[in-house]
Chain A
Amino acid sequence: MTANEIYDKLKAEFGDDILAFSEDASTEAFITVRPQRITEVCLYLRDEPEFLFDYMVNLSGVDYKTNMTVVYHLYSLPKNHRIVLKVELDRDTPLVPTVEKVWKTANWHEREAFDMFGIVFEGHPFMVRILCPYDWEGYPLRKDYKEPETYHGIKVAY
């Protein structure tokens, strides 16, 4: 199934909660979804017999300076088709429902997005840092991140 067909079916099901469809993106076509409905959309994509997106390839955060974005790469093993979802969040208080209940693999991906961008996933069972130390300050992959001068009394800069 092509991205276009998937978009049409989603639009028919969810209406205004499917915000946009970008077909001419330089990488892959993606669908922008209203953040509040992302869990329902993902559940629908996973369970509907014509979609069967049983595999979440990747979940990553992006800092676009104007907003925070979460990107979901989905793939269906039985149907051999793929789709990209995006949700755009407020940059100061990035908040989005978790999809950990849909795909277990999202657990660590969401923790990584939280660690690197400070995006909070509501309903996640264990929303703590995964790569940086627990007492790390700031979110390193944000565009306005400033490298700390010292960490535990150790000079960080070269």
Chain B
Amino acid sequence: MGLLNRLDDPIQGDGIILGTVEDILNWGRSKSDWYLQFGLACCAIEFMALNASHFDMMRFGAIPRTSPRQADFIIVSGTVTLKMADRIKTLYEQMSEPRYVMSMGSCSNSGGPYWEHGYHVLKGVDRIIPVDVYVPGCPPRPEAFFEGLVKLQKMISTQAIFRKREKMSPEDLAALELRQKKVREYQERVKQENADYNDVNRKIYTGYSLDYLKKEESK
């Protein structure tokens, strides 16, 4: 963005910045993109190195978060099995908007070495969630990852925040509404198909057994 440089600029400077609110907000957003701490396979090893002092990912303003509700983007680092696909979808849907996805490594880009005989591997994470940046490699070098991160920051800094809906093309708007409708239908269907949907969720979130919870409730 170079927004801060303008403060010292001899011509435009004098501590005054002229720009749109959108620019300033986007600058802040792009320089403080927190990510969901989420590793899947060998890419996650490379990903751990990114956080260590050699590569120091925090200088980009990226701070790890352990809850999807606090994260701006999710890094899918590694092989996505079909068993994990449902969980990734849930994690992604728990993130608040605007949210972004980085796909790291060949496996989450396209299935990687499992593209032909991997009966249990999802052939590309973009089959379940929309991906913004693909980082190629098996696994990618940290430098490659940083290029992806800078791409993501550039993408964020040029996005429209206000009157987003008016700026969207009719096709995109229709696609968005269709997707929201599909998500609602999916949630309804899951609830109908699983009579114990709430019970199971409660059990997972609290960590207690159902018998214990029911006993506590009846007290």
* A145: chain B residues within 8 A (beta carbon): 119
* A125: chain B residues within 8 A (beta carbon): none
Cβ of B122 under 8 Å from chain A: yes
Cβ of A140 under 8 Å from chain B: yes
Name the one of A133, A140, A148, A154 contacting B122, with C-beta atoms under 8 angstroms. A154
* B83: chain A residues within 8 A (beta carbon): 132-133
Assign chain A's interface to a size class: 10 to 19
* A154: chain B residues within 8 A (beta carbon): 82, 85, 122, 127-128
CA distance A152 to B110 in the complex (A): 19
* A126: chain B residues within 8 A (beta carbon): none
Cβ-Cβ contact count across A and B, 8 Å cutoff: 30
Cβ of A8 under 8 Å from chain B: no
* B111: chain A residues within 8 A (beta carbon): 158
Interface 1/0 per residue, B94-119 and A, CB below 8 Å = 00000000000000001100011001
Q: A158-B111, A158-B115 are in contact. Are A152 and B85 (CB under 8 A)?
A: yes
* A152: chain B residues within 8 A (beta carbon): 82, 85-86
Q: How far, in Å, is A154 (CB) from chain B's closest CB?
A: 6
Q: How far, in Å, is A117 (CB) from chain B's closest CB?
A: 14
- Quick one: closest A residue to B83, CB to CB? A133
CA distance A145 to B120 in the complex (A): 13
Cβ of A122 under 8 Å from chain B: no
Interface 1/0 per residue, A132-155 and B, CB below 8 Å = 110000001000010110011011
- Quick one: closest A residue to B186, CB to CB? A153
* B82: chain A residues within 8 A (beta carbon): 133, 151-152, 154, 156
CA distance A148 to B120 in the complex (A): 9
* B123: chain A residues within 8 A (beta carbon): 155-158
Q: A154-B127, A154-B128, A155-B127 are in contact. Are A148 and B119 (CB under 8 A)?
A: yes
Q: How far, in Å, is A15 (CB) from chain B's closest CB?
A: 43
Q: How far, in Å, is A104 (CB) from chain B's closest CB?
A: 23
Per DSSP, chain B at the interface is loop
Q: A152-B85, A152-B86, A154-B82 are in contact. Are A140 and B115 (CB under 8 A)?
A: no
CA distance A92 to B49 in the complex (A): 49
Q: How far, in Å, is A13 (CB) from chain B's closest CB?
A: 43
* A157: chain B residues within 8 A (beta carbon): 123
* B122: chain A residues within 8 A (beta carbon): 154
- A140 near B119: Cβ-Cβ < 8 Å: yes
- A156 near B85: Cβ-Cβ < 8 Å: no
CA distance A152 to B86 in the complex (A): 8
CA distance A145 to B117 in the complex (A): 12
CA distance A154 to B82 in the complex (A): 8
* A156: chain B residues within 8 A (beta carbon): 82, 119, 123
* A155: chain B residues within 8 A (beta carbon): 123, 127
Among A132, A145, A154, A155: residue with most chain B CB under 10 A? A154
- List which A61-75 residues lie within 8 A (CB) of chain B: none
Told that A140-B120, A154-B122 touch, could you supply 11 new A-B pairs with CB distance under 8 A?
A132-B120, A133-B82, A145-B119, A151-B82, A151-B85, A152-B85, A152-B86, A154-B85, A155-B127, A156-B82, A156-B123
Listed A/B pairs (21) with beta-carbon separation below 8 Å: A132-B83, A132-B120, A133-B83, A140-B119, A140-B120, A147-B119, A151-B82, A151-B85, A152-B82, A152-B85, A154-B82, A154-B85, A154-B127, A154-B128, A156-B82, A156-B119, A157-B123, A158-B110, A158-B111, A158-B115, A158-B116
Q: Report B's interface with A, CB cutoff 8 A.
A: 82-83, 85-86, 110-111, 115-116, 119-120, 122-123, 127-128
